[in-house]
Structure 1
Amino acid sequence: MKRKITIACLATGLAFTSCQNKNVETPEEKPNGNIVFGNLSKEPAFVYAMPGFESMNITTLISSSDKLSGTPDFVFAGQPDGAGFMKEENTDGYVMITNHEITQSVSRVYLDKTFKPVRGEYIVDGIGGITRLCSATLANKKTHGFSYFLTAGESGEESMVHAIDPLAPASEKSSKDRVKPALGKASMENAVPLPSDVSNGKTYIVIGEDQSYSTNHQSAGQLIMYVADKVGDLDGGKLYALKRKDDDYVETNMVKGASYDVSFVEITNAAKSTGKEINQKNLDNKAIRFSRVEDVDYRKGAGKGREIYFTATGESSDGTNPKAGLTMWGRVYKLVLNADNMLTGKLEVVAEGDSDPGNNLINPDNLCVTENYVYIQEDGDSYYPAAKHDSYIWQLDIATKAYKPWLNMKHNRNDAAWQTAYNQSGQLLKFGSWEYGAMNDISDIIGVPNTFTVNIHSHTWQSDKFVNADGAGVNTNKEGGQVVIIRNVQK
C-alpha cells in the first residue's frame, strides 16, 4: 500500500561537523516542539565550520554504519550525492530520497516526527540505475508543477536522466524503463527544473554535462536545456545547448568581470539520437565547451528562478597542467535568462580557481543557491599536487561576489585513532580525499529556519559491511558515507 507523501520543499545539498569546533556538536534540542537536534549517528560529524562561522550547529543524521530500528538489515550506501526531502503526512514523519553514486542506486529513508531515521529501503538499485547517479533534483508540484526525483546518469555519453516516482514501491527498484530519452544522452550530473513562477506554463529543465574533453569527445561538457510546452511533459519537448552569440566556444576566452550574450541552440531530433550523435551536433552548433559541467541550481525567491548558477569542475592533462581552452581548477558561472525569451541570456564567471591555483577554488562540484548566497561544494579528490587545502564549501555572496571558506572536512591527520577508524584506503593524508554531495534547505519542511543537510563522500572510510548495500550484486565498492544537519545557515 502506498503512503501519501507531500513534497514540501526543494534545494540542493548536505554537510558534517568537527571536533576542531567546540561549539558545533550540540545537546538535544526541540526548537519546534517535535524535531530533536542531537547526534543521531554512531559516528561523529565529518565536517567542521570555518573561522567566522562558529555560530553554526552541526549534528549527524545518518552514517553507513548506523542500524535503523525498523529495518536493521538496511545499509545506507556510500557516496550519498543528490538528495531531496518530503513530508509524510500520515505519520507526521519525513522521507529522505538519496542518490548513491557509485552503487548506481537510490535509497528512501523514513524519519519519524523528531527527524530520526527509523527505516530504509532502495527504490532504485544498481540494475535499475544502469549508470552512476550523481546529483539529483526532487521536483515538487508546489514549486515546479510536477513531481519526480530527477536523477542523471553519469557513466559516459549514452547515459540518461531517470524520472523516479518518489512514492514508487521498492519492488520496482530494478526497473530500467524510467529513463527519459527526450532529455538527451550524455554523461550528466543533474537535471534541474526551473520553478513555475518563471516557466509561464512550460517545462524548463537545465542539465549539466559532466564530460571531459578528449579526442573522441571534442565538445567537452555542455549546459543543456530541455523545453516542453506543457508542465511536467518529459517526453515531447526539445533539447538545446548553450552557445555564445559570436560563436566563440572556447571556455577560457571568457574572463571574470565580463558578460557574454548567449543563446540556446536546438539539438535536433535529440530523443532519437545517440549520445555520440548529440556530441557531434554540439560541435556543429559551436556550443560552448565547458570543462565538465557538474551541478546546476537556480536562485531562490519569487521570480528569481531565471538566475542560474553552474560549475565547470575543471580538468588537467596530468594533474599539473591544464588542457588548452579549459579551466583546470574550476569555475562557477552565472546565467541570467531573459524574461521575454528564456532561450537567450547573459553569462558571466563569478568565481574561479585558476588565478590562485591551490588556494582558491579546487574542482567545484555541487551547488546550493539560496536567496542571497551560493554555496560552492568542492570535489577535491582529483589530487592535484598543487592543492593546498581539503575540500571546502565556499559561501559566495550574490550581491558582492565575494566568497570565503564556510565548511571543511575533518581529516584529523595527527589523530591515530581517527586514521584507524576512517582511513582504511590510506588516502586520507592527501588534500581533498573526501568530497561533498547534495546540500538541501530543509527549513520549511521541518519548521526550523536556516536548517540544511549536507552529504559526505568519505571515500577512505571502508568496510566489508557496506558492500552490496542495495542488494543488486553489481558493485563491490565498500565506501561509507554520512549526512549531517547544519543550523544557523545564512540564506
Structure 2
Amino acid sequence: MKNYFKLSLGFLSLLALASCKEDDNSVDVENVNLVELKARSITPSFLNLSSEFSNVNIYPLLTSEDQLEQSPDFVYGSMADGAGLLKNDDGTFTLINNIEADYAIARIELDETFKPVKGEYILNANATASTAQCSGSLVTPQEHGFGPLYLSGGEWGGASKGVFATDPFKSSGNSSFAQMLPTLGQWSTENAVVIGKEAYADKTVVFIGDDHADNEVPSGQLGMYVGNRGDLFGGQLYALRVTDDTVDFEVDMEEGQSYNIDFVPLEETEISMLDTEAKTKGAMGFSRLEDIDWRRGSAANNREIYFCVTGRKKPGLVGKGTSYGRVYKVTLNENDPSSVGTITCVLDGDLENGKAKMFHSPDNILVTENYVYIQEDPNGYFDTVDKQHYAQLYQYNLNTGVLKTVLECGQDNAAAQGYGTSNSIWELTGMIDISETVGVDETFLLITQNHGWNNNFTDPNANATPATGEGSMLFTINGLER
C-alpha cells in the first residue's frame, strides 16, 4: 500500500507538472536540472574543513574501492590527477581523468543525477610509453573557440615527454594509440593549458609547465605556444624571460613586486636541446614549475596567468630557487602575447612571517574570476612549525589579497580506519570548477592521491607495469566562492 501511495503521488506530480506547461508560468520539463550533489562512494571523505569554511559540503563521488554498475571490473586507479568534465546532449556527463601512476587516462560516465555509472580507459600505458599523465585541461568551443579536446602532460617515468591531445570521445578500443603535439615541445610536462578565447581575437595561446628538477640551477621553464585559432601544430614556441637587470634567479623576485618580461622564440623541441636553447636565450628557470591556470571573466582577466612552483630544498639551490613553493602571476601584453608583460610573485612560501608561511609545496592551481585555489603535494620539508601539516587546500582572494586555508587531508583518521598510513603524505590535486557544467553554482571537483593506501588499485586495461596499486578519491565540493 505504501509503495502504491508513493507511485500515485509521483503520477499526480507528473500530471501537475505537465498541466503547468499550458499556463503562462509554465515549467519547461526538459530543462529541469536532475543533478543531485550527495555522497556516491562507499568510502568516507577524510577531508577536514577549517572553521571558516564550515558551511561547505564535501561529497565522496568515486574512489578506487567503488564498483560502477555498468562496468563492475573498472578500477579507478593510482594517483588520479588532472581532469575535465563535459555535459552531453542527453543530460549525462563525461569526466576525463588522468591516472598518473598508471600512465593512463580514464573516461568516467555519470548519469543525469551526477552518479558515476561506467568507467573505461581511453589511453593506456602502451600509448604513453609508460609516461605519467599529470595535470590535464579540457579545451571547449565555449571557452577556447575550438574542441572539445583534452590536453595532458607527459612528465615522468617513460619516454613520451611532452603534450598529449586526446579526443574525449575516442573509442576505448584505440586506447593503445596516442596523439602528441610535437610543436609544443618536449618538457617534463606537468600540464598544457589553453587560455580563454577572449584574450586574443584570432590566436590560440597555450602555456606549458616544465616540472624540471635540478639540484644546482632552477631549470623549470614556462613555455608558451602561439598559433592561429585552433591550430596546435603550425605555431611558434616560446619561453618566458625576465628582462629586469636585477633578476638573475627566481628568488631575486620579491613577493608583491612586478618585473618586466617577454617571451623568447624557440626552435628546438627535443627535451635536452630545448632546455639548452631556452637557457642560452635567457629563459627564467624555476624550481619545479607545476600547474598553470588563467583567470576567468573579461578579456583582460584571460590574459592573467597563474602558476605554482612547488620548490626544491637542496644546498646548491640556496639563493636561487624557492624551497617551500611560490605562486606567480604573469600579465600578458594586450596586443601580442610574446611582447613585454610582467611577472609578479603573489605568494612566497619561503617568507617565515609572510601570508603564505604555511605553504608546503604548492602544486596544482585553479583560478576563477575572483579566487585562486591552491593544492599542495608536500615534499617532506617539515622543518618549521608552519610546515608541519598534511596537504592543504588554500583560497586566495584576487581582489583583497587574503589567503585562507580551506581544508586539510585527515590522514590520521584515515590511517585509523585502514586507508593508508600517516607517514605516506597524500596529495591534493585535479581541482576544477564544474558549476556551469552541472548547473549548480559554487561546485567543484577535487582529488586526493592516497599514498600508502595500497590494495592493488590498478585496472588491467591501463596496462601499467609496474603498478603502485595505491588508491585515489574523487570528491564533489559545494559552497566555495568563485
Q: TM-score, normalised by structure 2?
A: 0.88
Q: Which residue of 2 aligns with 1:102?
A: 101
Cα contact 1:451–1:485 (8 A) shared by 2: yes
Per-residue deviation, residues 372-398 of structure 1 (Å, max 9, x unmatched): 110111111435444311111111111
* Deviation of 1:399 (Å): 1.4
3-state SS of 2:251 partner: helix
Q: Which residue of 2 aligns with 1:29?
A: none
3-state SS of 1:282 partner: helix
* Deviation of 1:33 (Å): 4.6
Correspondent of 1:339 among 307, 319, 334: 334
Q: Which residue of 1 aligns with 2:17?
A: none
Q: Which residue of 2 aligns with 1:180?
A: 181
* Deviation of 1:324 (Å): 3.9
**How far apart, CA to CA, are the structure 2 residues paired with 1:452 and 1:129?**
28
How do 1:9-408 and structure 2 match up within 5 A?
33-90=33-90, 92-130=91-129, 131-147=131-147, 148-155=149-156, 159-176=161-178, 178-214=179-215, 218=217, 220-228=219-227, 230-246=228-244, 248-268=247-267, 270=268, 273-303=269-299, 304-317=301-314, 323-343=318-338, 344-356=340-352, 359-386=357-384, 387-408=387-408
Cα contact 1:245–1:263 (8 A) shared by 2: yes
**How far apart, CA to CA, are the structure 2 residues paired with 1:109 and 1:393?**
25
Cα contact 1:57–1:487 (8 A) shared by 2: yes
Q: Which residue of 2 aligns with 1:446?
A: 438
* Deviation of 1:329 (Å): 0.3
Aligned AA (2:161): S
* Deviation of 1:359 (Å): 4.8
Structure 1 residues 296 and 306: alpha-carbon distance in aligned structure 2, compared to 1, 3 A threshold: same
Cα contact 1:359–1:389 (8 A) shared by 2: no
Cα contact 2:95–2:107 (8 A) shared by 1: yes
Cα contact 2:128–2:160 (8 A) shared by 1: no
* Deviation of 1:245 (Å): 1.5
Per-residue deviation, residues 50-99 of structure 1 (Å, max 9, x unmatched): 12110101111100000000000000112111000001213x21011000
Aligned AA (1:250): F
Deviates more, 1:367-376 or 1:334-343: 334-343
**How far apart, CA to CA, are the structure 1 residues paired with 2:106 and 2:151?**
14
Q: Which structure: greater helix fraction?
A: 2
* Deviation of 1:302 (Å): 2.5
* Deviation of 1:287 (Å): 0.7
Cα contact 1:315–1:323 (8 A) shared by 2: no
* Deviation of 1:473 (Å): 4.2
Aligned AA (2:327): V
**How far apart, CA to CA, are the structure 2 residues paired with 1:122 and 1:410?**
30
* Deviation of 1:462 (Å): 1.0
**How far apart, CA to CA, are the structure 2 residues paired with 1:143 and 1:455?**
23
> How many aligned residue pairs are there?
442
* Deviation of 1:419 (Å): 2.8
Structure 1 residues 338 and 473: alpha-carbon distance in aligned structure 2, compared to 1, 3 A threshold: closer
3-state SS of 2:395 partner: strand
**How far apart, CA to CA, are the structure 2 residues paired with 1:280 and 1:158?**
19
Query: How large is the RMSD of aligned CA atoms in angstroms?
Result: 2.0
Q: Which residue of 2 aligns with 1:5?
A: none
Q: Which residue of 1 aligns with 2:480?
A: 489
**How far apart, CA to CA, are the structure 2 residues paired with 1:262 and 1:135?**
25
* Deviation of 1:219 (Å): 5.9
Q: Which residue of 2 aligns with 1:27?
A: none
Structure 1 residues 103 and 158: alpha-carbon distance in aligned structure 2, compared to 1, 3 A threshold: closer
**How far apart, CA to CA, are the structure 2 residues paired with 1:143 and 1:473?**
33
Cα contact 1:214–1:220 (8 A) shared by 2: no
**How far apart, CA to CA, are the structure 2 residues paired with 1:185 and 1:314?**
21
Aligned AA (2:363): D
Cα contact 2:296–2:368 (8 A) shared by 1: yes
3-state SS of 2:360 partner: coil
Per-residue deviation, residues 354-413 of structure 1 (Å, max 9, x unmatched): 0128952110000010111101111114354443111111111111222011111111x2
**How far apart, CA to CA, are the structure 1 residues paired with 2:461 and 2:55?**
37
3-state SS of 2:282 partner: coil
* Deviation of 1:46 (Å): 2.6
How do 1:420-439 and structure 2 match up within 5 A?
420-423=417-420, 426=421, 428-429=422-423, 433-439=425-431
Cα contact 2:360–2:379 (8 A) shared by 1: no
How do 1:470-489 and structure 2 match up within 5 A?
470-489=461-480
**How far apart, CA to CA, are the structure 1 residues paired with 2:461 and 2:352?**
42
**How far apart, CA to CA, are the structure 2 residues paired with 1:287 and 1:325?**
14
Structure 1 residues 381 and 317: alpha-carbon distance in aligned structure 2, compared to 1, 3 A threshold: closer
Cα contact 2:329–2:346 (8 A) shared by 1: yes
* Deviation of 1:158 (Å): 6.3
Q: Identity rate of aligned residues, in percent?
A: 35
Aligned AA (1:263): D
Cα contact 2:76–2:459 (8 A) shared by 1: no
Structure 1 residues 38 and 388: alpha-carbon distance in aligned structure 2, compared to 1, 3 A threshold: same
Aligned AA (1:110): E
**How far apart, CA to CA, are the structure 1 residues paired with 2:324 and 2:464?**
36
* Deviation of 1:467 (Å): 3.0
User: Runs of 5+ in structure 2 lacking a partner?
Assistant: 1-31
* Deviation of 1:420 (Å): 4.7
3-state SS of 1:102 partner: helix
